[in-house]
Structure 1
Amino acid sequence: MQRLIYYISLPFIYLLSLLPFPILYRVSDGFYFVLFYVMGYRKKVALQNLRNSFPEKSEKEIKRLCRDYYHYLCDLFLESFKTLTIGRSAMLKRCTLSPAAKDIFDRYHSEGKSIMLVMGHFGNWEWAGNTFSLTCKQQLFVVYHPFGNKYFNGLMYRMRTRFGTGLIAMKDTFKDMVKNKAKITTTAFIADQTPQPDNAFWTTFLNQDTPVFRGTEKIAKKMGYPIVYITIKRLKRGYYNILAEVLSEDAKNTAEGEISALHTTRLEKDIREQPEIWLWTHRRWKHKRPAELH
Structure 2
Amino acid sequence: MKTFIVHIGILLIKLIGHLPFWAIYFLSDIFYLLVRLIGYRKEVIFRNLRNAFPEKSEKEISEIAKRFYKHLCDLFFETFKVHAISNNEMAKRMKFHNTELLDKFYDEGKDVIIILGHYGNWEWVPFVNGHIKALGTQVYHPLRNKPYDKFLLNIRSKWGTLNFPMKTCFRDMLKLRRAKQHFIIGMIADQSPAKNKIQYYSTFFNQEVPVLLGAEKMAVKTNSPVAFLRVDKVKRGYYEATFELLVERPKECEEFEITKIHTQHLENIIKQKPEYWLWSHDRWKHKK
The TM-score, its normalising length taken from structure 2, stands at 0.96
Larger CA deviation: 173-182 vs 23-32: 173-182
- Return 3-12 or 196-205, whichever deviates more: 196-205
Determine helix, strand or coil for the equivalent of 2:35.
helix
Contact preservation (8 Å) 1:199, 1:214:
no
Distance of 2:53 and 2:226 partners within structure 1: 29
The one-character-per-residue Cα deviations of 1:125-157 (angstroms, maximum 9, x if unpaired) are: 111222x11311211111000111100011011
Partner SS state of residue 129, structure 2 = helix
Give, in whole Å, the separation in 2 of the partners of 1:152 and 1:196. Answer: 22
Letter aligned with residue 255 of structure 1: E
Residue 165, structure 1, aligned to residue 164, structure 2: no
Which residues of 2 match residues 1-294 of structure 1 at below 5 A?
1-37=1-37, 39-98=38-97, 101-130=98-127, 132-181=128-177, 182-196=180-194, 199-289=198-288
Mean CA deviation greater in 104-113 or 228-237 = 104-113
8 Å contact 2:10–2:148 — kept in the other structure? no
Q: Decide which moves more: 10-19 or 280-289.
A: 10-19
Paired AA for residue 155 in structure 1: F
Indicate the residue corresponding to 1:292 in structure 2. none
- Deviation sequence 1:234-256 (CA, Å, 0-9, x none): 10110000111111111112100
Change beyond 3 A, Cα 1:2–1:146: farther
Q: After TM superposition, where is structure 1 displaced by more than 6 Å over at least 4 residues in a row?
A: none
Residue 199 of structure 1, CA deviation: 2.8
Q: Offset of 1:10 from its aligned partner?
A: 2.4
Shift of 1:52: 0.3
> How many residues align structurally?
285
Per the TM alignment, residue 11 of structure 1 is displaced from its structure 2 partner at its CA by 2.6
The aligned amino acid for 1:176 is D
The amino acid of 1:288's aligned partner reads K
1:39-59: CA deviation from partner (whole Å, max 9, x where unpaired): 211111000000000011100
CA distance in 2, matches of 1:94, 1:45: 31
Residues 2 and 149 in structure 1, CA contact (< 8 A), matched pair in contact too: no
CA RMSD of aligned residues (A): 1.1
Inter-partner Cα distance in structure 1 for 2:235 and 2:205:
25
Unaligned runs of 5+ in 2: none
Contiguous gaps of at least 5 residues in structure 1: 290-294
> What is the rounded CA distance, in whole Å, between the counterparts of 1:154 and 1:164 in structure 2?
15
Q: Deviations over 1:231-283 (max 9, x none)?
A: 00110110000111111111112100110000001100110011111100101
